[in-house]
Amino acid sequence: DQARVSHVALDLRADFSARTLAGRATLTIDREARANEVVLDTRALTIEGISDPDGRGLQFALGPEDPILGQPLTVQLPERVREIRIDYRTSPTADALQWLSPEQTSGGKHPYLYSQGQAILTRTWIPTQDSPGIRQTYSARIVVPRELRAVMSAEHLTPDGVEVADGRAFEFRLTTPVPPYLIALAAGDIVFQPIGARTGVFAEPQVVKGAAAEFADLEGMVTRAEALLGPYRWGRYDVLVLPPSFPFGGMENPRLTFATPTILAGDRSLVSLIAHELAHSWSGNLVTNATWRDFWLNEGFTSYVELRIMEALYGPERAAMLEVLEHRELHEEITRLGGTESPDTILHVDLRGKDPDAGMTQIPYAKGAALLRLMEETVGRERFDAYLRSYFDRHAFSSITTDVFVKDVRSHLLDGKDDLASGLRLEEWLYRPGLPNNAPVPRSPALDAVEAQARAFAGGAKAPSVETGDWTTQEWQHFLTSLPPDLTSDRLADLDGTFRLTERRNSEVLFAWLRVAIRARYEPAMPALERFLTSQGRRKFLRPLYEDLMATHWGKPEARRIYARARPLYHSVATTTLDPIVGGN
């Protein structure tokens, strides 16, 4: 509160052989007169020196290391100093950064680097105040080897770069303040293909065409989102398709969503993930959770808006299917977290002493989205939509807490009425575990029909009699997750022989099938399982598959063997989750 970072200017060089970023971060500090020091977050950074703008050295000290938070860096601020220059380098094992060898890319010729800041990893590559409540603008000059292109979550001032001594320099700037977890960098053999006037895709040359085809509706998505939420305030909206080790489905870095290649299904069936990341341009990037306890404000709003965009673009049936799938995942997650009394199922979750990454469950997403759906149903869509839009206008470019949300709902949606009277029961939704019994239950007639087919098969019907027609990805997902746990390997062989499930290329369908296959120890799917675990690093797919394997006596050694092979491919976000599950490295 007394000395806050308001702008970060980076001047860094990427050294792919040392696997370090090195150079300078110049921080602008918003200080009160009485503040005589500023405290920054760092983790595994080597600080070489700190000075004021005139080059006079400033005193600094690194505090004790916290295993989750890293080390505070305290810098003395002489009177009137408003800018500090920090010369530093990152560690080769910085958690935010993944340095890929050429073999880990599609092209196979050039190395690749990318960063992942959320939740508290930015401090492993930038010494700054790494809290979502402290918004900062940024600029950067990044030098990379000549044959690579650097991109960032900002305006690209020099798209082709500028030749410098052993390398190429790229300059960026973001003039709207964002929380530091949204500062993001990638460098590799990256090319661009436009889609619409303000949309396009960045990817390796081998991937970019397919990606542009997959995201053909991108411009339309932005237009639909604007109709719902108000103007898109970030200028361009592009998507960067990363190499397969990217640990998330997507990451909403401003102006440049980072996305896994596992959504390139070939038939646009997984583009709701892009709708989700785009929605974060409002919920998350424009209005941000002030602390990680309030993470549901980011993800719950976004999951709700994602479905509204999908509905506007592809119709209510598709949106309803996605909502039913999400609702099922919510129930499974509540069970996994220990049931309806578990404190981990509270939206305003207590993260004291924990890595905020632990709060990344289905709860903030699906329970949060269910609350917004309930708000919509309570006041009607027309009023709710007007509220939603005004919420983003009222809080634009600020970071807010759950408490601010509650007050906002009371004064702008419920007209001062208490929420008990309105039937909403906000207190219960936000501060108590489990799913309140006024939660809306989504329905999809298409998925009801799918469940009927799953029941028929479970009851003994042969696979060729299952009426799949031209089932979409979501119907296949639902069918597979609706199968009972006790199917034998023979029954799976019947399904597989009929529907060629082991050969599926759609990552979501294959994932759902592989879980079924592990449950029944269906051997013919095991090579595909191993291929899947060693060819992509998305944590959402990896964790359940390794957990399923580890839960069986035959699967345990298999999981360990595959993990030993695959671990070097994964990002630290994935290995941090998987190490305790599979048992160390």
Q: Which of residues 301-360 bind Zn ion (CB under 5 A)?
A: 302
- Residue number, 374 or 542, with CB nearest to ligand BES: 542
Spot the catalytic one: 214, 277, 306, 475.
Answer: 277
- Total residues contacting Zn ion by CB under 5 A comes to 2
The token duo for 370 is 């269910």
Q: Which of residues 540-579 bind ligand BES (CB under 6 A)?
A: 540
- Cα–Cα distance for residue pair 221/162, rounded to 1 Å: 34
Task: Find all residues with CB under 8 Å of 103, minimum gap 6, and list them.
Answer: none
The token duo for 549 is 């394997």
- Residue number, 156 or 276, with CB nearest to ligand BES: 276
What is the amino acid identity at position 252? E
Angle, in degrees to the nearest 10, between helices 402-412 and 381-394 = 130
* Member of 118, 245, 253, 345 binding ligand BES (CB under 6 A): 118
- Residue number, 265 or 461, with CB nearest to ligand BES: 265
Quick check: 252 binds ligand BES (CB under 6 A)?
Answer: yes
Which stretch in 10-18, 194-202, 247-255, 523-531 sits in contact with ligand BES by CB under 6 A? 247-255
User: Which candidate, 255, 289, 336, places its Cα nearest to that of 119?
Assistant: 289
Q: What x-and-dash track marks residues 274-313 binding ligand BES by CB under 6 A?
A: --xx--x------------------x--------------
Radius of gyration of the chain (CA): 24
Phi, psi angles (nearest 5°) of residue 575: -70, -30
Provide the minimum distance between the beta carbon of 302 and Zn ion in the complex, in angstroms, as a whole number. Answer: 5
What is the amino acid identity at position 551? A
Provide the minimum distance between the beta carbon of 359 and ligand BES in the complex, in angstroms, as a whole number. Answer: 8
Quick check: 75 binds ligand BES (CB under 6 A)?
Answer: no
- Residue number, 299 or 419, with CB nearest to ligand BES: 299
Q: What x-and-dash track marks residues 268-307 binding Zn ion by CB under 5 A?
A: -------------------------------x--x-----
SS3 of residue 297 by DSSP = helix
Residue 112's binding partner out of ligand BES, Zn ion, none, with CB under 5 to 8 Å set by partner kind: none
CA 562 to chain centre: 25
**Catalytic residue at 365?**
yes
The token duo for 338 is 């220990």
Spot the catalytic one: 112, 304, 365, 546.
Answer: 365
CB 291 within 8 Å of CB 189:
no
Q: Where on the phi/psi map is residue 339: left (φ > 0), alpha (ψ -120 to 50), or beta?
A: left
Strand order in the sheet with 97-100: 97-100, 112-115, 185-188, 149-152
**Catalytic residue at 277?**
yes
**Residues forming the active site:** 277, 365
Q: Which residues bind ligand BES (CB under 6 A)?
A: 118-119, 248-252, 273, 276-277, 280, 299, 357, 360, 365, 540
Q: Which residues bind Zn ion (CB under 5 A)?
A: 299, 302
